[in-house]
Structure 1
Amino acid sequence: MDNLAIGIYEQLLDEELQQQIDNAAPELKPILRKIDDEEAPYTYALFIKQILEQALRQTSPDEQRQLLNRLIELLSSQDKFDYLQRHKLLERQSNVLTEIKREAHPAPRPVTPLNSSALLTGQGGDPSLEHELRAEMASANEVYLLVSFIKWSGLRLLIPAFEQLTKRGVPVRIISTSYMGASDPAALEWLVKQPNIEIRLWYDTGGTRLHAKAYHFLRNSGFSTAYIGSANISHAAMTQGLEWTLKVTQQDMPHILDRFRAEFYTYWESREFEPFKLEDLPRFRKAINGYRLPEDRRPRFFADITPRPFQQRILEAIEASRSNNFKRNLVVAATGTGKTIIAALDYKRLCEVSQRRPKLLFVVHREQILEQALDCFRTVLRDQNFGELLVGGKAPSEWNHVFASIQSLNNQKPWLTYGSTHFEHIIVDEAHHGAAASYRPLFDHLQSETLLGLTATPERMDGSSILPDFDDRTTAEIRLPEALAEKLLCPFHYFGVSDKMDLSDGSFWVNG
């Protein structure tokens, strides 16, 4: 560069840099220091690497080999360096050793290189962390894992690789914690049963300071690697999460891997990390269960819920429809795209607009879905006391925000007691059932200010339409093909099973 920018540096002083300093403005003051003897070899080597790489990029492949051999000859001509002659490059078509093996088939290899570091961000053309870890495990001679928690969903992806490590007798050491009750006992149980795996745990569920996530694969060949980043052993983190992971190799950053092993063994020998055996599993379960809420009080949704981009588009479509005086809206969304979350966020917006909580009725046909919906609304509204159930013998006391099964609603007939306009906002989940006889009292007797229908399958097999209950229109939709194309859902396969049942008279589909 022609001009030196104001800032900090760590650059060796050569003739070009000295000239730049001499030509700099008088008010700019350079600060120099003496290079430390211990850091000198690495610093000089890095300096030569940068110059050499620049030169090699301007030469042909044949010239590159000749240039490197001349440099090796120059070095080997010095006293004590004659052994460097053995490193002169040979003129061969295949000139990179990739494996020494006994088996007929080559070992799996990671996509990222073994001799230079790389950054994985979970985007673009980066391989998934799960793929890279499995490939690394296939050729490792020792494995060291340092993670805050281990989920069964993540371990399941790596089990085949762990089984191969066990088969080869490769030692594996794992350091983890019971932090926040996040680890799954089934995952720890499977790991500790493997004869080649040792585990040490920190049992403090609330105060653990270990947040590191690192994976080290030591190889006798000298091509060891490590992955250091933000991903624990969970399905989301290793496959689709936006987790950043830095891959470090022994070839270009040996000092980092040396530090890795030193710190790992410091933790390993610490009294805070205790050896974990199969007989310790009850203690581990007790530790994590002491952190988690009892099942009947545990929210089914934990994190703050914000809409994903496609959900935001649907919410905006609902808002636009109401502003055009369409108060009865139908949303068609493929199963798994979060219809309940859309409904909860839409209700939250109604609350914000009106500065109060409109009387709500949420209707569906199954108790389990009702309980999940209630937990979702409570999380979105940040109120664990919001809402009451009307299902399976459970009856509301206030009747302001009711989550009801259609069967219990028809039995209670609240329109007779509270009037047809008592509920200001009604949500009908699985709205394709709306044409069925059991749902007609809901539509015929209740007149809310706003109505929202949710369904993944608006087309009924009996040919009846649900659109008349929703102003004869669909407000927004994300169908299965679109959800698959946007990678919101996993692809699947159909398998048809033939039978001799005669369906030609159409009676099978009479209920839709």
Structure 2
Amino acid sequence: MKYLNNSNHTYIYESLENYNLFSKDVLLHKNNLSKEDSVKYFLNKNELEMYRDLSEELKINYNNFSKYITKISNTKYDRFPFQISLIGDKKLEKYKYEIRKNFSLLETKLITNDHNTYNYMIDQLKNELLTCDSFDIIVSFIRGSGLNMLVNTLNILRELGIKGRIITSTYMNVTQPEALRKLLEYKNIDVKIYQSSKIDDSFHTKAYLFHRKNNMNSVIVGSSNITKAALKTGEEWNIRTYEKASDSVYISTQERYDILWNSDKVVKLSDELISKYENFIEVNKVIYPISQSFNIKKTNNNIIQPNSMQKEAIKNLLISIDKGHKRGIAIAATGTGKTYLSAMAAQKLNPRNVLFIAHRNELLESGMKTFKKIFNDQKDDEFAKYKGEQRIIKKYTFASIKTLVKDIGKMEPETFDIIIIDEFHHATASNYMKVINHFSPRFLLGLTATPERTDGGDVYELAEYNVISDVRLKHALESELLVPFQYYGISDDTVDLADRDGISVEEITKKLSTNKRVEFIIKKMNQFTLSGPMKAIGFCQNIVHAQYMNEEFKKRGYYSTILTGNNTDEERQEAINDLQSNKNSLEIIFTVDLFNEGVDIPQINLILFLRPTESSIIFTQQLGRGLRTYANKEYLTVLDFVTNDRKNYLVPIALSGDPTFMGRGKLKSIVENNFNNLSNQVHIELDYKSKEDILKNIDNTTFYSAENIKRIVKSFLEEVRIIQRDNDYTLNILDFYNFENAPDLFTVFSGSYNNLSQLNKSIKSQSVIDDKINNDSFYTFIFNEVTKILPLRRIFDYIILLDVLINNKSSTKNIKYLFKEMLSIELDKSSIEKIEYSIERLTKLKYKKQPFLHLTNYEITLDKNFKVDDDVRLILKDYLQYGFFTYKKEFEPKLINREIDLYLYEQYKRTDVLALIGYNKAIDSLREGVLQYKGNYYLFVNLFKDEEAKENKLNYQDYFINNSKFHWQSQNQTSQSSPTGQNLIHHVKNNKKVHLFVRREKKEEGVVMPFYYVGELEFVSASGNKPISIEWNLKKEIPMKLLNEFTVNNEVRY
């Protein structure tokens, strides 16, 4: 947080972690701080010695206090001991984005890798290293997975000339020889190896010492080695303290380190030593650490247990069968175990027999292997592939669609009890439809990672809209269903694409294809340790670029090849087999987009992004090629060579995996906080230069301009067309559900465009039906109204409106039926009341100043003067599907019967909130930031006040004290004795609930922003009158990712 001393324009920074310490002793929240108070605040009350040292100098009248502080900090004390960004240390200014804003040199704390607070050892370690003058490290093990996470920091230390010493060991042979070789490349770091003389001579030491001037030394002692688990994902306990707080700990640790460093128990690291170590491991067949530990909760037999996705899907499948469904679709990211799911589901159903259908032979082979593992009590002759001369039906039959469709006339409709169709997104093609329409199984299950429409059909309709599972990439990573990945965004200064929009494709290719760039790429590749021998895919700009990279890598001794659409199927399969084989020397395949979908190479451990990111969808698909788990594959390494083009902000959008609205503040917060909002199984790191460029481009991009929206949506359309293999495809509302990285609807429809048909026209992709909607004022009106409700929060408004437009009428009875059919929910009295509120709101809608919906005999009907044609009804049905699918995916339908249907940390427009609480008065009547309704108070807060608010004296001091406390000011006319004041102060006694909605600022680029719902509040204390200042406790602490977004740039404005 940042406070401005108006008298001299000195900014005072406050770390969130230190807030409570200071708030009792120093007046922080006032516009003017005295010089003495400022320095007291700067110094931390514990540092009395330094404070006394400065107290005399403070008496001198300095004209420029900012320069005085900087002078003192940069000379006598080198820098102040907490917020490095405060002083503008010249040495660190270049790397300001590498240091966390709440990092403090004067702090004793426990570091545990707690994901909820982002208290990671890796972040602490980087901050300590970047602020020290030298360092000493002693750890038992060093593995590539941990050393990779320090590469950028070690490169900076080498550039700054910071020297260090490291002691590690070959104890239990856990340290990787590859990691030791990487360390040898750092001439500023001396490394020694502890030599175990016998098997019981253990070496479990873990300590990190950081040396600074003026006794600002610090030390971390605990449990963390330099491995991925120890630095980020594992349960670790490390105590961090500093010399002045614990001088005996620091001094004794340093003394012990020096004794060991100078003893004969350690030897200097060398190439010869590493070679001997490698040879020892090879000769003795050393087994690396087992990837999975014993778990008493797991069974002690060979039965394969379902993962979290499979358990949930099987449960939903059984429920849907009980409710009468005969078909269903399971959507799950590649590598999460869809085939195992189908086998486990079949096992639960105890089928008479099973038919497994796929369109490729390798899928059939894989399917049969999986079923044999699950049905391991069955004899081999119960399984058969239906092919060639041996077209025999067994208990478990595996058939290609091409073979099966030729013989369906010979089979009875009831031949198969269970039918499973892999790659179900192809199921609307004619051959599949012949098979599906012919058979009448007890249940048909479709499997797909990409549910988008193909072949002009609707796979959801084919599956009776019964989605039993929907697990996309982000969820799969968070659930640890895929291999963890380490992404490194590397600033690529070898190519200048700042004016990329004005450069031809040929010129971009030429700029990307230079000897200097190849050398740079290889240099960076060599800095990272892979999980096993190199098995890489390099994604290039186009075929010409791929050919160039392949030739240049071959010249430099790499075993590489190129695969494009020009290769035959045989050539493609041969290259894939070579890359998969441990016996073959192929290391890298260069390609363009051949591996976006449908290719499964689990052995891939390195992905190279060698061209600018154009699309978050394609980025995600290509990233997914390396995420399938494989034996001894500890992690996937991703190297993205980030150019300086203005679209590089697409990188964090793609990496975030967040399909919801992402304003400028949220996006900047994600980047500044190193993507800590994602699963801790993922490590994402942008080097300081690429991070600075991306943040600059985020600030300079007009996200809501017509041109930017058109560019985003046009890019989305182009990628969809590639996947659909249809150059004439036009966007449908369901595309925004089917594709995980589709543009968010708030951004798309908050500015210049009011509906999808209008947007399709703007990007010159207007279908016949779009043309019809755009040229009919009533159709335009109704699609505008439907689109206003998106992103979907007001589920009843949305469904009722669409139901009326599709069927000319709707009723409570019909809405109850739809919710039961689509969401398996029985609506209760509370929801019936909400339906009535919705109907009341909808009948107030006017087309050309006249109502077009009427309430008669408990039904809401479409005015007889209006008619919706059948082709338009089909589009409206897509919107209806979209509504139910997204609501089911994003929320918990079973909670819909709650009195107040609000979800913590979701974003709501003010109109959404009013509708959801049943407030049906005109929106214009709510001008204040406080609403009382039905025993509840709703506070709407803008943290960053705009100029209009300041001019109208509405500059209220509203801010988060920490993640569990909030400071709020009432309206200027409210006193503690007023009814509002009394109700807020005594809300528990008066049986009132207080709810808080917060947004960073009212508008961004002129677009009104949504609020986050952060939950109920509990009164703590109040002071002052007109306005009242109230401190609230949040009933539930807000997540750090949200607090970071609210305090991006670490500042609070008044």
TM-score normalized by structure 2? 0.31
Select the residue among 282, 291, 297 that pairs with 2:286. Answer: 291
User: How many angstroms does 1:211 deviate by?
Assistant: 5.1
Query: Does residue 158 in structure 1 map to residue 143 in structure 2?
Result: no
Question: Aligned-pair distance for 1:134?
Answer: 2.2
Cα distance in 2 for residues equivalent to 1:345 and 1:464: 25
Most deviating of 480-489 and 271-280 = 480-489
Find the counterpart in structure 1 of residue 539 from structure 2.
none
In the alignment, the residues of structure 2 paired with residue 228 and residue 456 of structure 1 have an alpha-carbon distance, to the nearest angstrom, of: 45
Distance 1:208 1:415 in 2: 70
Asked if residue 339 in structure 1 is aligned to residue 336 in structure 2, the reply is yes
Residues 140, 218 of structure 1: 8 Å contact kept: yes
**Contact 1:193–1:278 (CA under 8 A) maintained in structure 2:** no
The equivalent residue for 1:133 is 125
Q: Structure 1 residues 58 and 233, CA, compared in 2 at 3 Å: closer, same or farther?
A: closer
Once residues 473 and 243 of structure 1 are traced to their aligned partners in structure 2, the CA distance between those partners, rounded to angstroms, is 43
* Map of 1:475 onto structure 2: 468
- The alignment status of 1:250 with 2:243, answered yes or no, reads yes
Q: CA deviation at 1:458?
A: 1.2
| Residue among 78, 101, 120 paired with 1:100 | 78
Partner-residue secondary structure (3-state), 1:119:
strand
Q: Specify the SS of the correspondent of 1:155.
A: helix
Cα contact 1:123–1:242 (8 A) shared by 2: no
1:330 positional shift:
1.0
> SS state of the match for residue 467, structure 2?
coil
CA deviation string 1:142-177 (max 9, x = no partner) = 333344543434323321221233340502314144
Using the TM superposition, give the Cα deviation of residue 114 of structure 1 relative to its aligned residue in structure 2, in angstroms.
1.2
The one-letter amino acid of 2:336's match is K
Q: Distance in 2 between matches of 1:224 and 1:498?
A: 55
Aligned-partner Cα distance in 2 for 1:358–1:247: 62
Task: Tell me: CA distance 1:161–1:421, structure 2 relative to 1, closer, same or farther (3 Å).
Answer: farther
For residues 449 and 89 of structure 1, what CA distance do their matches in structure 2 show? 85
1:196/1:478 Cα in 2 relative to 1: closer, same or farther (>3 Å)? Answer: same
3-state secondary structure, aligned to 1:134: helix
Q: Could you tell me which residue of structure 1 aligns to residue 1034 of structure 2?
A: none
Q: Could you tell me how far apart the structure 1 residues matched to 2:407 and 2:264 are?
A: 62
Cα deviation 1:227-280 (Å, max 9, x = unaligned): 344544345654566655432222212333334345555765787765432233
Aligned to 1:122: 114
User: Which residue of structure 1 aligns with residue 168 of structure 2?
Assistant: 175
CA contact (8 A) 2:130 2:153 kept: yes
CA distance in structure 2 between the partners assigned to 1:180 and 1:162 by the alignment: 24
TM-score w.r.t. length of structure 1: 0.57
In 2, Cα distance between the equivalents of 1:349 and 1:260? 57
Deviates more, 1:107-116 or 1:187-196: 107-116
Shift of 1:431: 2.4
Q: 1:405-432: per-residue Cα shift (whole Å, max 9, x none)?
A: 959x959x9999x999998766544321
Q: Greater CA deviation, 319-328 or 55-64?
A: 55-64
- Relative distance call for 1:481 and 1:171 in structure 2 (3 A) is closer
Deviations 1:89-138 (A, max 9, x none): 43637598475289734465553321221233433444543333222212
Alignment of 1:175-324 (within 5 A): 175-177=168-170, 179=172, 183-197=175-189, 198-200=191-193, 209-210=202-203, 213-235=206-228, 238-239=231-232, 243-262=236-255, 264=257, 275-286=268-279, 290-292=285-287, 313-324=312-323
1:454 aligns with 2:447: yes
| Greater displacement, 469-478 / 191-200 | 469-478
Q: Is the 8 A contact 2:340 2:370 kept in 1?
A: no
Distance 1:132 1:442 in 2: 59
Change (3 A) 1:476 1:64: closer
8 Å CA contact retained: 2:142, 2:168: no
Shift, 1:509, TM fit: 7.6
Secondary structure at the residue paired with 2:156? helix
Indicate how the Cα distance of structure 1 residues 86 and 496 shifts in structure 2: closer, same or farther if over 3 A, else same.
closer
Distance 2:436 2:412 in 1: 14
Distance change in 2, residues 1:55/1:137 (3 Å): closer
Contact 1:148/1:213, CA 8 A, preserved across alignment: yes
Whether the 8 Å CA contact 1:148–1:179 is kept in 2: the answer is no
**What CA distance in whole angstroms lies between the structure 1 residues aligned with 2:155 and 2:108?**
28
Give the C-alpha shift of residue 434 in structure 1: 3.1
Checking the alignment, whether the CA contact within 8 Å between 2:135 and 2:165 is kept in structure 1 is yes
Change (3 A) 1:226 1:348: farther
Tell me what 1:326 maps to. 325
Q: CA 1:329/1:138 → structure 2, altered by over 3 Å: closer, same or farther?
A: same
Give the number of aligned pairs. 421
Q: Deviations over 1:27-76 (max 9, x none)?
A: xxxxxxxxxxxxxxxxxxxxxxxxxx99995688979999xxxxxxxxxx
Alignment of 1:58-73 (within 5 A): none
The answer as to whether partners of 1:343 and 1:427 remain within 8 angstroms in 2 is no
**How big is the shift at 1:371?**
6.5
- Secondary structure in structure 1 of the residue aligned to 2:244: coil
Mapping of residues 362-511 of structure 1, within 5 Å: 365=360, 367=362, 406=400, 410=403, 428-436=421-429, 451-467=444-460, 470-478=463-471, 484=658, 487=678
CA distance in 2, matches of 1:128, 1:141: 22
Paired residues of 2:356 and 2:422 also in contact (CA < 8 A): no
> Structure 1's 276 and 88: CA in aligned 2 closer, same or farther, altered over 3 A?
closer
CA contact 1:427–1:453 (8 Å) conserved in 2: yes
Amino acid of the residue matched to residue 339 of structure 1?
Answer: T
Task: Please give the alpha-carbon distance, in whole angstroms, between the structure 2 residues aligned to 1:376 and 1:174.
Answer: 50
Deviation for aligned residue 1:217: 2.1
Tell me how far apart the structure 2 counterparts of residues 207 and 266 of structure 1 sit (CA, whole Å): 22
The residue identity in structure 1 corresponding to 2:184 is V
Task: Select which of 33, 56, 62 maps to 1:90.
Answer: 56
Q: Which moved more, 1:54-63 or 1:188-197?
A: 54-63
What are structure 1's unaligned runs of at least 5 residues?
Answer: 1-52, 67-82
Distance (whole Å) between structure 2 residues aligned to residue 279 and residue 163 of structure 1: 24
- Asked if the contact 1:415–1:422 (Cα under 8 Å) also holds between the matched residues in 2, the reply is no
Measure how far apart 1:449 and its partner are: 5.8
Contact in 1 for aligned 2:364/2:399 (Cα 8 Å):
no
For residues 64 and 302 of structure 1, the distance between their equivalents in structure 2, rounded to whole angstroms, comes to 55
Q: Quick one: structure 1 residues 155 and 63, their matched pair in 2 at CA, closer, same or farther if it must change by over 3 Å?
A: closer
Q: CA deviation at 1:496?
A: 5.5
Give me the identity figure in percent.
20
1:447-490 deviation line (CA, Å, top 9, x unaligned): 87655433232122432233465345322324579863684689
Q: Deviations over 1:202-241 (max 9, x none)?
A: 689x988545554332334422223344544345654566
Q: Is the 8 A contact 1:229 1:244 kept in 2?
A: yes
Offset, 1:497: 12
Query: Which letter does structure 1 place at the counterpart of 2:150?
Result: L
Q: 1:146 to 1:320 in 2, by over 3 A?
A: farther
Cα distance in 2, alignment partners of residues 381 and 271 from structure 1 = 59
The residue identity in structure 1 corresponding to 2:286 is Y
CA contact (8 A) 1:432 1:460 kept: yes
Q: Contact 2:326/2:443 (CA < 8 Å) preserved in 1?
A: yes
How far 1:195 sits from its partner (Å)? 1.9
Q: What does residue 27 of structure 1 align with?
A: none
